Amino acid sequence: MSDLGDFTDFDGDDDGSGEDSAATDAAVDDAPTDDRPDDGGADTDSTTETSDAVADEFASVGVAPTGEDRGIGVVSATEGLRISEDSQETELRAYVTVANRSDVRIGKYLLVPYDPEASGGATAGGGAGGERLFCRITALEYAQEFRADDATEIHARRAMRQGGIDEQDFKFVATLEPVAVLYRDDGSEARSASNGRAAEPRDGELKRRMTDRVPKPETVVREATDTGEIKTGLKIPDDGVFLGHLAVGGEKVRTGAEPPTIDYRLKDDYADGDPLVFRHTLVAGGTGSGKTHSAKNVLRQYLADDRTYPVGDGGRDAAPGLVMFDPQDEYAQMHDDNPDLDDAFARRLEQEGIAHGGVDDTIAFVPKVAGASYATSDHRAEQVEFTIPFSMVQDNPWLIAGSSLNGNQYNALRLLLNRFTDDYGDGGTYQQFTTFLDDPALREELDETGRVHEATFNAVKRRALGFDGIFDQDARPITERVHEFVRSGGISVVPTYHINNSRTTVTVVLALAALLVDQKLSNDPEYERIKQTPLVLGLDEAHNFLAEVDSVQGEQIVGKFTEAAKQGRKERLGLFLITQDPQDIAEPVFKQINTTVVLNLGDEDAISAVNIPPSLEQKVPYMEKGQMVVYSPDNSDPVELVGLSRCLTKHD
């Protein structure tokens, strides 16, 4: 390839003759003055006077632009403007000025007034702005300002040698997605506009409605920086359970208010519908995503001093209790303060109304299991041992059914348990039950009467064995500790980290969960304390307990939790599920989840399972620790958040 040389030194007056031209110029310079063409008799003085006159004629004049630039750009109608019921047919674009281009990001929230003249002097809060379109940037694009081909060698090498890029040679266009129309409503009848359309009142409560108008071309587009406008546009409630701060691309949205961040909260007042705690929550995130850190911060808000819910017939209010099943021995630390919370950070939390600090009423209920001992120095919470009485199996035979019992075998197990209770009473132990199954006369009797076939009896016996180390251990039964286990305003943590057998862990967790769920759903509960206490049931590694398994046991477990989720609003029972494998949660349970909090996930199946909008789904694999997407249809539009950088309680 030939060398183009330094084409940046190209002289536009050059006639292109190369060396001949240069030689001619030199000859002219060296020629005697008398040999040069006559200048018409003009002398040097006249030439100088003429140059001065020309200079005076074209003297530069200082010019200042009128007014000030507002916003980040204007609505562009170059390719048309269209608002449609079909989002695929909506065309809304904005030209972004050069000075604002470096600050524009996909996902940024913008405002476009429908009456530019009325909004010209609007305050940040929009008090004089009338209706305005709240929208978000979904795409950014550079386009040629002038018809030119920049995919050439000359263009490329010129750009490579220059120190910067002249962006004025290009258009920078943002594609906008309409979110809602913001307007003021004081409850009075709106006055009629000159075009016959009802104009919204300028004063009153800021509200939103679906997008039904198209903005005018060349309308100034500005960044949404007012907390009220952004919260209204995204339907974020002002009060409720704090989750994090609104963000775009991992950076917190900033406003001119104090504090400058925008807090995101879940509805928690019956005046706004059912509190979303009783509509159930799922926290999904991979290892190292900040899942436990975030879960602790949310759960701490449910234990705030002033948080209560009506119970019974509504005659009294009670603080919720939290029962947390903890496979990694982390949640009992909620008893202790976080030593990393300094006074300045604590003051900011108090300013935003965020509950923080350890919960004194935290007890670790340690299941007594043969061959396992619990010893920890990670928290200062009280430790109480308990055992699972075999009597709990009578109401929930699936606890010892195993995952491979079929329908006939499960029915046979129920019959055997009923027969056992008749013979031994409600206080019969697991050891007595195994002795009961060893009776050959019983097997022969049931086989001869046709009630249980011998092969079925033997299958049930094999699967019912192996629970010796779980039931009736040397500790008080949990049924005698219900008043300690369920406490209004308290946290009961059930650690299972010290249990080495997964079958034992599942049995313990499901036995306690079934006790709580059964009593909550019962019309004639044995334990009124459970029935009358608003309850949050936390289940870490929920995929290990609520997977959809093709067995009688799996059907019973999923069915019980699905019914609990359906009745949660009425019975003041909220499920708080935490998992790194959301795709393994049984679909009937998943469908009852109203609030999904998604942190970083790397698995495509897990990401698709959480069922968040595609625009947010693609961000999930790239989110840093503490970043999250919240999808809660009954609370707000889907949003991106950044959680608190520090845990509100101890977290190692």
- Residue 627: per-residue pLDDT: 96
What pLDDT shows up at residue 126? 41
186 pLDDT band, cuts 50/70/90, is low
- Considering the segment(s) 280-387+473-595 as one domain, its CATH architecture is 3-Layer(aba) Sandwich (3.40)
Phi/psi at 366 (5° precision): -95, 120
In this structure, of 278-282, 405-409, 552-556, 581-585, the range with the lowest mean pLDDT score is: 552-556
In the chain, CATH 3.40.50.300 sits at 280-387+473-595
Average pLDDT, the chain: 86
CA-CA distance, 219 to 225, in Å (whole number)?
Answer: 18
Quick check: 193 pLDDT over 50? no
What is the pLDDT at residue 305? Answer: 92
Structure tokens of 6? 């330094």
What single-letter DSSP state applies at residue 547?
A: B
- Asked if 93 contacts 176 with a C-beta cutoff of 8 angstroms, the reply is yes
**pLDDT score for 123:** 41
Q: Distance of alpha carbon 282 from its chain centroid, rounded?
A: 10
Q: Strand, coil or helix: what is 445? A: helix
Per-residue pLDDT at 300 exceeds 50: yes
Burial class from Cβ neighbours inside 10 Å (0-12, 13-18, 19+) for residue 47 reads exposed
Reported as a single tens digit per residue, the pLDDT across 432-446 is 999 999 999 999 999
Q: Is the dihedral of CA 181, 184, 189, 191 positive or negative?
A: negative
* pLDDT confidence bin for 463, thresholds 50/70/90: confident
In this predicted structure, what is the pLDDT of residue 468? 86
| pTM of the full structure | 0.83
Pull the structure tokens for residue 213. Answer: 């108008």
pLDDT in tens, 121-179: 444 444 445 899 999 999 999 988 777 777 888 878 888 888 777 777 789 999 999 99
Whether pLDDT at 32 is above 70: no
Tell me the pLDDT band of 480, cut-offs 50, 70 and 90: very high
Q: Tell me the mean pLDDT in the region 223-240.
A: 95
Reading the block at residue 20, the tokens are 């001949």
Per-residue confidence (pLDDT) for residue 378, from 0 to 100: 87
Distance from C-alpha of 27 to C-alpha of 31, rounded to nearest angstrom: 6
The arithmetic mean of pLDDT across residues 490-509, rounded, is 93
pLDDT of residue 52: 56
